[in-house]
Amino acid sequence: MTAPQHGIDVTSAAPTPNHGLSPYTGYTRGHWESAADRLLAGLVPHASPGWAQYRLPGRTGYAGAWSDGLEGYARSFMLAAFRIAGAKGQDAAGSNMISGLIERYAAGLAAGTDPAHPEHWPPITDRSQSMVEAASIAVALHETRQWLWEHLDERVRHNTAIWLGGFVGATTNDSNWRLFQVIVEEFLASIDAPHSRAEIDAGLARLDDWYRGDGWYTDGDGQKFDYYNALALHLYPALWARIAGPRADAGLVAVHRERLRAFVDVHQHFFGSDGAPVHQGRSLTYRYATAAPLWVAALADANPLSPGRTRRLASGALKHFADRGVPGEDGVLTLGWYRPYLPVTQAYSGPASPYWASKAFLGLLLDADHPVWTAKEEPAPVDRSDQVVSLPAPGWLLQSTAGDGIVRLVNHGSDRQPPPPSTLPESPHYTRFAYSSATAPQTPPDDVPAVADNHIWAEAAADIATRRGRIHPLYCQGDRAASWHSASTLADHTDAVISTMSVVHGPWEIRVHRVETEDAVTIRESGWAVADEQPMVAGETGDGWALARRPDGLTTVVAGLLGWESTEHLGAARVVRDEGLNAFGQHSAVPLLTTSAVGVRMLVTLVVLTRDPNIRHDAQALHHGARAEIGKGQELVLTFPDGARRHVSADLLTLSEGGNAPPA
């Protein structure tokens, strides 16, 4: 093959929306192809002369610039592969785009795997970033096998097998990385190259160790629940089965398929009516990659959703970001969410890391006449009615409201901590009490004091706030979930033990806290963080309540219902404003309540997030209409603003039956 030229023919104009076929998004297969073409075209100016590296502007990842360049090639090769395979390797009339992609990535493969070439890739060694990127390359080579791999000369295929073969006998991180080894070595098996069947089997078996039921894996030992369920832990077993074909154990494939089916049945609830995924966990810069398992389920014949709902959800996610300027005018994905914003990344994230978003385009592997492309879009769950879904495995409640299209995730289980006694620094993307499709947590640098959103904490002195740290789940069922945590500022000192139960209904959450402390402390509780690019977030306070509102009407309230009366603080309420701490906008605000406590204290709080026009300006619905009353015995009667009542035990320790009890 001859080396391609930089002038690749890519049409940038998006198709006209088709609201007859797609009444919710207007998107068709043509929109997905156009979006893929734009992303691939945006990378061309950043390609190295031999096409083996894409050196994008931005912060270097911890593996260094050499690895970052490989990452740009590998992750975009996945996108190119889905585009090539979706077109059956054929150019459209009057275009040479598909053939150009084949030549471009074949040339990069030849250069990158040639140890004598100046653009050669870093080797695959124990726990190296090259392991991650090799899996993307293996997937891409398999999906373009008949159009690219089979047309390479023997030298390039030999060099590729040698480079990928660095996986054999190597040690991976004990997490989703085990599946990178599975993918790469299965591809090596498919080309009759040296591989270890024992390592493939061990990686798949390790996945079983992390399965917690109902479609949920933890990403390694501990309580590490996040979008890696969607991006890796379900995705790679399905792609492995495609590569392995008849070599795959049929029984194991069936197990993975049923787990995927169970997961997607829940995953559909993670998207707001505007297509936004719930903003929780790490690697959020992959953005609409959250749509990947929707397509994978269709590819694997494991889809519990109708074809029309599948496309509505996936296209909704793609359109959500496109409508907010992602990618930018240059067609490049940046490290961030909407705008560049490094706190949604990790130290390993390099300039090309966002191109794991390529996984969202797996749907292009489905033929153009497949029902997911031809069926009329059908409503998502949030489009139809209010929903509450309890997820005992991760300890989450998913609470969505049709009136404003927001999905809220109430967290009583995921903290990304390893098993004790080991600990990791707390992350605001894991330990807040709630996340949503319309907000992001405050993410200050470690050396910047800031009010945490969706948190309750104790302050013993000098305004040093306690952290939630390790979450101990108690239970999660129906419309309520509970957990406890040791609130501490230092690893060897507990300032308070706080048990919390969340009860949800409509747009409201009532939190019941049991705070136990030996010394007198200040207790603070916060609502959601609302953010905007303009400094126009409004704030209001009253007797025992605080409110923050964005110009578009998105409103959050925290209101004390019981126990917030204090001779010192009198239920003090305020709105705290910050700049530069939120992925959703430069200016953010958090409502906050303050009281004091010593010994054992019961606190009940109403927390609201809404943009429903029927609720957001109604004082009764926001902070005056809810009540918490002590009933008979230890019963607590909670009344929501619409009159709905829930009865719960006032003694939160009774929640420990069958779970982890707080220390006595």
448: pLDDT confidence band, cut at 50, 70 and 90? confident
For residue 600, what are the CA distances in angstroms to 195, 294, 634? 60, 47, 15
Which pLDDT does position 652 carry in this prediction? 60
How many Cα atoms sit within 13 Å of 33 on the Cβ side?
Answer: 22
* Residue at 441: amino acid letter: P
- pLDDT per position as a tens digit, 467-483: 898 999 999 999 999 99
- pLDDT per position as a tens digit, 15-55: 999 999 999 999 999 999 999 999 999 999 999 999 999 99
User: What is the average pLDDT score of the chain?
Assistant: 94
State the Cα–Cα distance between residues 296 and 260, nearest whole angstrom.
9
* Residue at 16: amino acid letter: T
Which pLDDT does position 9 carry in this prediction? 41
Which pLDDT does position 622 carry in this prediction? 92
11: pLDDT confidence band, cut at 50, 70 and 90? very low
Which pLDDT does position 447 carry in this prediction? 79
- Short-list 571, 518, 574, CA closest to 547: 574
- pLDDT per position as a tens digit, 221-235: 999 999 999 999 999
H or E element that contains 382 = helix 381-384
- Reading the block at residue 468, the tokens are 């939630």
Q: Is there a cis peptide before residue 15, judged by omega within 30 degrees of 0?
A: no
- Long-range contacts, stretch 566-571, CB < 8 angstroms, 24+ apart: 566/595, 566/596, 568/595, 568/596, 569/522, 569/594, 569/595, 569/596, 571/543, 571/544, 571/595
- Reading the block at residue 515, the tokens are 């705070």
- Reading the block at residue 353, the tokens are 């890391």
* DSSP-derived secondary structure letter, 295: H
Asked whether the domain spanning 395-616 has the same topology as the one spanning 29-383, the reply is: no
What is the domain partition of the chain in residue ranges?
Answer: 29-383, 395-616
Of 211-215, 327-331, 570-574, 634-638, give the lowest mean pLDDT range.
570-574
Which pLDDT does position 649 carry in this prediction? 86
434 contacts 410 by C-beta, under 8 angstroms: yes
Length of the chain: 664
- Short-list 46, 64, 45, CA closest to 55: 46
The CATH classification of domain 395-616, taken from the options 1.20.58, 2.70.98, 1.10.600, 2.30.30: 2.70.98
Helix pair 177-190, 235-244: axis angle to 10 deg: 10
Which pLDDT does position 461 carry in this prediction? 65
432 contacts 391 by C-beta, under 8 angstroms: no
State the Cα–Cα distance between residues 424 and 9, nearest whole angstrom.
48
- pLDDT per position as a tens digit, 135-170: 999 999 999 999 999 999 999 999 999 999 999 999
- Say whether pLDDT at 508 is over 90: yes
Which residue has 């300027």 as its token pair? 325
Pairing of strands 508-526, 587-610: antiparallel
Q: Which fold has domain 29-383?
A: Glycosyltransferase (1.50.10)
539 contacts 547 by C-beta, under 8 angstroms: yes
- Long-range contacts, stretch 658-662, CB < 8 angstroms, 24+ apart: 658/475, 659/472, 659/473, 659/474, 659/475, 660/472, 660/473, 660/474, 660/484, 661/484, 662/472, 662/484, 662/497, 662/499, 662/516
- Short-list 130, 127, 110, CA closest to 118: 110
Residues ≥6 apart with Cβ < 8 Å to 528:
434, 436, 439, 453, 454, 548, 556, 590, 591, 607, 609
- Reading the block at residue 274, the tokens are 């505007």
Beta strands in 372-447 (DSSP E): 387-391, 396-401, 406-411, 434-436
462: pLDDT confidence band, cut at 50, 70 and 90? low
Of 407-416, 493-502, 585-594, give the lowest mean pLDDT range.
493-502
315 contacts 323 by C-beta, under 8 angstroms: no
User: For the chain, give me the number of helices (H) and strands (E)?
Assistant: 15, 20
Which pLDDT does position 494 carry in this prediction? 67
DSSP-derived 3-state class of residue 552: coil
